[in-house]
Amino acid sequence: MAMYYLGVDVGTGSARVAVMDNHGAVKGLSVEAIETHHPVSDIYEQSTDNIWASIVKATHQAMAQAHTTPDAIKGIGFDATCSLAVLDRYGQPLSVNQASDFQDHHWNVILWADHRAVDQASRINATGHPVLRYVGNAISPEMEIPKTLWLKENVPPAHWQAIGDLMDLPDYLTFRATGQRHRSACSLVCKCSYTPSPDRPQGAWDPTFFHAIGLACMADDHCLLGGDPQDEQQQVLLAGDRVEQGLSERAAEELGLLPGTPVGSPVIDAYAGAIATLGAGASSTQDLSHRLAIICGTSSCHIALSPEPIFVQGVWGPYPSVMLPGLWCAEGGQSSTGQLIDHVLATHPAIEQARQLAQAQHCDIYTFLNAHIASLTQKLNLVHWSLLTRQVHVYPDFHGNRSPLADPARRGTIVGLTLDTSVDDLALHYLATLQALACQTKHILTALNDQGYTINTLCLSGGLCKNPLFVQCHADITGCPVILPESIDAAVVLGAAILGARAAHQQDLWQVMCQLGKPGATLHPTTDPQLVHYHQQRYRVFLELLADQKKYDTIMAISSP
């Protein structure tokens, strides 16, 4: 009988389910939208009930596409965004929605992008506690500890007492699938300040940290985030470790699968993208030290591995064994990438005209703009399309900086504005935004290599990989070849399916990654001396824009009464 593995990926806007065979091929793929409550700029909330309903629907559709039966599914893996799910003592949703006085229990997830905890993060960072060394010396409001402190300080005391579990969303999914409250090392170490110690190198809670930041209750009593070594129900599992008892009868009935099907311990969605791509075409784990996985979607994550811990200011980690045992991960990132591109387009006066033209040509807006850029290049008799934006520059931190500055207060900049409201001008702003995002990747890459990494190759996954201009900008501006996955649409969810395969056969994860991860095309950077120099100068402007913004902040701080 053929063997198949089910992968479930919960991104910012959708749940994606794939059926993968034992050769790494996609046999079924389905995507279902999920709800996001976004009433004001810094508030993003979701619902575990809605997320699970979308997973159920997508699973039935993917299984139907694959023309397979439940008994052929040998393992299931999950990944999700690093969002905070809040449950009561019975495992039911508990509200995080302040506008309803925390009575609307539908909204029980604080999405990763939610920045309500900026003040809490700032106060935590002001403590200078040694735990912060493992998040580049600056915890992010996107992480679970600041969000937990926000809850402690803002929900009514009775509501806080009603909380039974605080779960990173990947761990919620395995809880919902198996009924087990085990936590994943990936979630706890990467997002919950579960840090290494001499006697527990894979991680442990530091009670002094909780006391220092105002969460003494988490140290003195049951830690709502789990990971209690005294509690057998809260074991901390490595990526793809089999969760005991497997798929529960309830979840099996909902998903149309068999009870007891092995379920692998989950990872955060970025790490699923790294699992799917870093092993593709690699000959040994030594290749990993030269590769940077970039998972490009609404936001982007940059994941590097090393055999020893390397500390980089403003980059999260190093994290031990959160992906592969014995290797340390560093995680950089951009808070807004796909979201930023969409914002730049949506706020330009010519966007409706461009959309109508794209519709008339039976293509999406990005394909239309890419073609329009090629046409403009020919019209202006330029040797390359990148030269179109010589006078237009974007600094991309419209939603703060995740890496390597770790500064949520950074803001975006556009230089080169005119009174032009044409589609031509829209195309230039779009291209300049792609180039800015690639410059920021170079900024992160430089920070990593300056501290001892030896990265010279990019492994991209995520929806933005479908945009050839985005990919080529990354190759040209960083000077690194870019390896794309064989299946761009399914790369991240296939990382989740690989966890299911590991759970089914209990093999070494690296071996499964090499067996099932499939490389696609490789794009090489330009070697034209003129273009190489041009991209170096553009990166120099990028750094000058950052320096100017800091200078303006200083001027305004001095001038304040």
For the stretch 218-238, pLDDT in tens is 987 678 999 877 777 788 999
The predicted pLDDT at position 204 comes to 87
Q: What is the CATH number of the domain that holds 242?
A: 3.30.420.40
Q: State whether residue 361 is helix, strand or coil.
A: coil
Asked which of 267, 286, 321 is the last residue of a domain, the reply is 267
Domain-located, residue 195: yes
DSSP 525: P
Over 80: is that where the pLDDT of 393 sits? yes
Q: How many domains does the chain have?
A: 2
What would the mean pLDDT of 201-212 be, rounded to a whole number?
A: 88
The answer on 242 and 365 residing in a single domain is: no
Paired strand residues for 28? 19
Domain-located, residue 27: yes
pLDDT digits (tens, 9 = 90+) for 74-100: 999 999 999 999 999 999 999 999 999
Domain-located, residue 31: yes
The answer on 261 and 342 residing in a single domain is: no
Are residues 167 and 92 in contact, defined by beta-carbon separation less than 8 angstroms? no
More confident residue, 73 or 288: 73
H-state helical runs in 40-196: 48-66, 118-126, 144-154, 157-162, 169-178, 185-191
The answer on 113 and 31 residing in a single domain is: yes
In sign, the C-alpha dihedral spanning 389, 393, 397, 403 is: positive
The answer on 397 and 535 residing in a single domain is: yes
Domain-located, residue 415: yes
The answer on 200 and 106 residing in a single domain is: yes
∠421-423-429 over CA atoms, to 5°? 80
The answer on 377 and 247 residing in a single domain is: no
H-state helical runs in 312-364: 338-346, 351-360
The predicted pLDDT at position 199 comes to 66
Q: Report whether the peptide linkage leading into residue 404 is cis, meaning its omega lies within 30 degrees of zero.
A: yes
Domain-located, residue 232: yes
Over 80: is that where the pLDDT of 217 sits? yes
Domain-located, residue 453: no
Over 70: is that where the pLDDT of 201 sits? no
What would the mean pLDDT of 22-44 be, rounded to a whole number?
A: 96
The secondary structure element, H or E, covering residue 21 is strand 14-21
The answer on 256 and 404 residing in a single domain is: no
Asked which of 267, 287, 317 is the last residue of a domain, the reply is 267
Break the chain down into helix, strand, coil percent, rounded to 5: 45, 20, 35
What would the mean pLDDT of 284-312 be, rounded to a whole number?
A: 92
Provide the whole-model pTM.
0.92
Domain hosting residue 247, numbered range: 4-267
The predicted pLDDT at position 286 comes to 78
* pLDDT range class, residue 196, cuts 50, 70, 90: confident
Token duo for residue 75: 């393992």
The answer on 176 and 76 residing in a single domain is: yes
The answer on 254 and 158 residing in a single domain is: yes
Over 80: is that where the pLDDT of 381 sits? yes
φ, ψ at 436 (rounded to 5°)? -65, -40
Token duo for residue 503: 């759970």
- The Cα 511–Cα 55 span in angstroms is 28
- The Cα 20–Cα 499 span in angstroms is 11
37-41, 64-68, 107-111: least confidently modelled range: 37-41
The predicted pLDDT at position 22 comes to 94
Please state whether beta strands 4-10 and 73-80 pair in parallel, antiparallel, or not at all (unpaired). Answer: parallel
What would the mean pLDDT of 59-70 be, rounded to a whole number?
A: 98
pLDDT digits (tens, 9 = 90+) for 241-285: 999 999 999 999 999 999 999 999 999 999 999 999 998 877 777
> How many helices (H) and strands (E) are present in the chain, helices listed first?
18, 20
Domain-located, residue 325: no
Q: Report whether the peptide linkage leading into residue 318 is cis, meaning its omega lies within 30 degrees of zero.
A: yes
- The Cα 360–Cα 295 span in angstroms is 32
H-state helical runs in 192-287: 207-213, 216-220, 249-255, 269-277
Q: What is the CATH number of the domain that holds 368?
A: 1.20.58.2240
The predicted pLDDT at position 560 comes to 56
Domain-located, residue 304: no
- What percentage of the chain exceeds 90 in pLDDT? 89
Cα-Cα-Cα-Cα dihedral of 177, 182, 187, 190, to 10°?
-170
Q: Which residues contact 5 (CB under 8 A, 6 or more apart)?
A: 19, 20, 21, 22, 73, 74, 75, 76, 77, 497, 498, 500, 501, 504
Over 60: is that where the pLDDT of 561 sits? no
Over 90: is that where the pLDDT of 159 sits? yes
Asked which of 206, 240, 267 is the last residue of a domain, the reply is 267
The answer on 209 and 82 residing in a single domain is: yes
What would the mean pLDDT of 43-55 be, rounded to a whole number?
A: 98
